[in-house]
Structure 1
């Protein structure tokens, strides 16, 4: 039994499900950024931008596994 992936349609253009996952992960990270700032996330790492990118990739992977 094959799993069908729903495509996102914007203006008649079919977008791959991965694009939806990218946007959802970005929205989650944008919502989490103020909380991360409050708890001092950037001070825990020597390269805060790389740590944030890693968090984004982890959330993206988790979204792909869930949906």
Structure 2
């Protein structure tokens, strides 16, 4: 697990770094979801995409 990061004298929690990495992974995955027409398979697309982001974040937290 990562430790706190010091940015300009302010300690940042490690969860922020995990959230940033999860966001980058999600943004790289998004064009693939558009190509697969993910919106057609979901009832509420923003809710499904948020759930996917949370799954990616949870996976990162469990693995690292």
Please confirm whether the aligned pair reaches a TM-score higher than 0.5, indicating the same fold. Answer: yes
Q: TM-score, normalised by structure 1?
A: 0.86
In the alignment, what sits opposite 1:16?
Answer: 13
1:43 and 2:40 correspond: yes
In the alignment of these two chains, the number of paired residues is: 64
In the alignment, what sits opposite 1:34?
Answer: 31
- Where in structure 1 do 4 or more consecutive aligned residues deviate above 4 Å? none
Unmatched runs of 5 consecutive residues or more in structure 1 = none
CA RMSD of aligned residues (A): 1.3
1:17-61 per-position Cα deviation (integer Å, ceiling 9, x unaligned): 111111111111111110100011111011011000000000000
Q: TM-score, normalised by structure 2?
A: 0.89
Matches of 1:21 and 1:66, distance apart in 2: 11
For 1:57, which of 40, 54, 57 is the aligned residue? 54
